[in-house]
Chain A
Amino acid sequence: MSLPNQLQDTFSPKELQFMVENEPIKIFPRFTTRQRIRKQRNDLLGTDSHRWKMMTMDDTSLNNMMAMQSTTVTLWIALLLKQQSKCNIIAPEWLTSKALDRALQFEQTNTLRFSPLPWDWLIISEILFKKAPDDFHDRVHELRSKIQDLREIRQLKVAKGIRYMNESHLQLDNLSLLEINELRPFISGIMDKLRDIHLAAVDAGGEDEMMGEEDDNDEMFNGTMRNESSRMS
């Protein structure tokens, strides 16, 4: 009741975006905040009225912005400034045509591994394409189609990986936040069921002769799974 049903199992995409917006990003501010310190002294205001006093981040970089000198701020601040056309966002290094090509290459050659993209790559690229399309050096539609390619190839791998699900555990390195989030209800649900089935099988087997056979099968299942999962990572 206090937490809507659709939020019980996993995060909503908006909540994910919220998390990602707390990450740092580089920008070129179009205005200077250093200046203000002196200005403020001059006009005798005597309060901190023009200073940034933040409670969730280090505000020294915000108080020391210089026009056209790159600085690092929190993403949501960058977006807010961008909206007021007060800054240009510097696209992260992995979000360039070249880097994406490299990642695509990696995905294609390593069929059982995920390329080491940042954990928030899908969300960041989506946000930046939407909010700051003019800040890219490459053409946005090219980048967008490359991101889409990456997403599809990775989705395919995830779909293939689903058959290694088991009642014990699974290792999923380099899987990003959004990808985990969309898998979460499905995978945890299925694995919970597998666990119950496994328990029931063990219980039912009891001291029966079946038990031995059961265990062998199980061993094999676990064995193959472990190999696969380590390769998948």
Chain B
Amino acid sequence: MTDTIQYAKRRFEAVKRSIVGDRDEESTLLAGREGNAGVHLQLWFLVTLVVFPIFIAVVVSTKQQGIVTSLPDLIPGTYAVENYREAIVDYGFGRFMWNSLLMSVVVVVGKLVISVLAAVAIVYYRVPYKDLVFLFVLFTLLLPVPIRFVPLFQLINDLGWGNSLLAITVPYLASATTVFILRQHFLSIPTSIVETAKLDGVGPVAFTLRVLIPMSRGVLVGVSIIMFVYAWNQYLWPLVIIDSEANQVAQVGLQLLQGDVQGGQLSWSLVMAGSVLTLLPPLALMILFRKPLLETFAIQQK
């Protein structure tokens, strides 16, 4: 008899708890929604701020003259096909884009290979003074390519690489940033995984290819995209070292587009068409690989 009474009482308590609990949950949910609205408003504002210049560029690239001075000028024109055709075909922008793509891919692949090897050596091998070596690698950040232009120019010409793909890729193959990011990532992989492989007799090459790289896929993709955009945006060095039009890259090609100024009449619509074109490959990559990119650079909650 007492058992039954206690059961009823306990059940009542449980029901009461669940009802009260539910109501609490609902109210926090509502508060969350209100908070979200504010956040969304801010996000919209910021996104608009960032996107607006690009929007103008797209609009201008569809016009004949492309001068925007008032709001009605923001209505797209009808010269889109004409402008893009002229940039790609007449000004050889397609060729520049292809060169840029080649350069960027070579730089990214080369950087990844060298950086993975360097990071593996730094993290997993007993190298004497390896912290010092790593520090030295980081020191190269203080000496970016632009500072080395003059001797580098001399060196490339002495090697007879002038005007070639080698000239615009090799100087960028080593990357302290990538080594650093990969090192941090490798350090975050539990040592027990490395030790299991060691006990299983998995060799260093098999370990790197079959364990380390698959486990670092996200970071590698993220780093690749950043490096691709960086390589894609190279301007000064290709301008200096490449002098044949056939080997030139897109960013320099943009400059060439506005070279045709006649009587102070700069064809902004052409320049903007070129700009929009150069924007597309990095944008496509960002959209395609946004997930690994966010995973790599988001602050991880642990």
Q: Decide whether A and B are members of one complex.
A: no
